[in-house]
């Protein structure tokens, strides 16, 4: 399993993901779930993935191959609107899943779900949830974030804190806490944690970091969040019999 999320606020976009692909007593796999396609001055595309790892890696390989081919009629570099780009990735994903499914058989789930986000030219930065069937949705003004994978443990933090006016850095801290809360409750989500901040209009990536559990900044965020929760519990109103 996995957990990935993306936030859209007025200042830009935040992407965060864990790196665990298999969970068990004797076998844990670690792979990045975040793929960055950066063409400075023109566009930035970030892809987060959940689901079948083989499908995801083949989709990414095809996207890279198309983007390198100057004769390609469709690639991450040919579309001028982000929703068109997401539709193209959906078509690639469906084709890969159909081929993989025919080879693997009915007992193997070859589906993958993606979050795509970024900015093309002067368009507004945006994030989209791409389903295995190839259809997609954008986030709403009322709920400006998207999640894939093991979403339930980290969603309350986002529900309570994410809004359009939040700063990029506060959104990033909320994303880290959301992933940490998920890791504490579900063994199938694990480190390292990747975090990317994209500021509106920059058309390049300036903040992309990876955190292990003992990375000083990440460890400090986890400890302060835990202490804050304990203080909040201690400060709740007393029952009238206490």
Q: What is the rounded CA–CA span in Å between residue 191 and residue 179?
A: 9
pLDDT of 185 above 90: no
Which two three-digit tokens encode residue 142?
Answer: 């009322």
Nearest to 174 by CA among 3, 6, 46, 2: 6
Supply the pLDDT for residue 107.
63
Supply the pLDDT for residue 99.
83
Average pLDDT value for residue range 134-161: 92
pLDDT of 26 above 70: no
Q: Report the range of poorest mean pLDDT among 34-38, 50-54, 107-111, 146-150.
A: 107-111
For residue 137, give every residue at least 6 positions away whose Cβ sits within 8 Å of its Cβ, in sequence order, or none. 128, 129
Domain 3-214: CATH architecture, name and number where available: 4-Layer Sandwich (3.60)
Supply the pLDDT for residue 118.
97
Q: Who wins on pLDDT, 109 or 95?
A: 95
Q: Where are the domains of the chain?
A: 3-214
Supply the pLDDT for residue 22.
60
Supply the pLDDT for residue 105.
57
pLDDT of 106 above 80: no
Nearest to 16 by CA among 35, 36, 29, 34: 34
Query: Considering the chain, what is the average pLDDT of its residues?
Result: 91
Average pLDDT value for residue range 167-184: 94
Average pLDDT value for residue range 45-69: 93
Q: Who wins on pLDDT, 67 or 242?
A: 67
pTM over the 0.85 mark? yes
Average pLDDT value for residue range 95-105: 72
pLDDT of 51 above 90: no
Q: Who wins on pLDDT, 68 or 22?
A: 68
Supply the pLDDT for residue 191.
86
Average pLDDT value for residue range 182-203: 91
Which two three-digit tokens encode residue 7?
Answer: 């936030």
């Amino acid at each position: 399993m996995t957990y990935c999320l993306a936030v859209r606020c007025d200042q830009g976009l935040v992407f965060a993901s864990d790196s665990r692909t298999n969970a068990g007593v004797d076998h844990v796999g670690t792979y990045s779930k975040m793929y960055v396609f950066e063409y400075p001055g023109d566009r930035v595309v970030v892809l987060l993935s959940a689901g079948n790892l083989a499908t995801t890696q083949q989709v990414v390989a095809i996207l890279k191959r198309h983007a390198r081919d100057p004769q390609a009629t469709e690639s991450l570099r040919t579309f001028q609107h982000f929703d068109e780009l997401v539709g193209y990735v959906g078509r690639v994903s469906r084709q890969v899943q159909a081929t993989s499914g025919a080879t693997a058989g009915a007992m193997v789930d070859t589906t993958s779900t993606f979050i795509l986000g970024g900015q093309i030219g002067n368009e507004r930065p945006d994030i989209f949830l791409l389903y295995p069937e190839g259809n997609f949705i954008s986030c709403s003004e009322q709920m400006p974030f998207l999640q894939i994978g093991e979403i339930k443990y980290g969603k309350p933090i986002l529900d309570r804190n994410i809004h359009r006016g939040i700063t990029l850095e506060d959104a990033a801290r909320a994303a880290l806490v959301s992933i940490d809360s998920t890791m504490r409750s579900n063994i199938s989500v694990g480190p390292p944690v990747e975090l990317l901040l994209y500021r509106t209009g920059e058309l390049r990536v300036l903040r992309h970091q990876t955190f292990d559990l003992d990375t000083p900044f990440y460890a400090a965020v986890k400890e302060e969040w835990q202490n804050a929760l304990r203080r909040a519990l201690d400060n709740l109103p007393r029952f009238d019999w206490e």
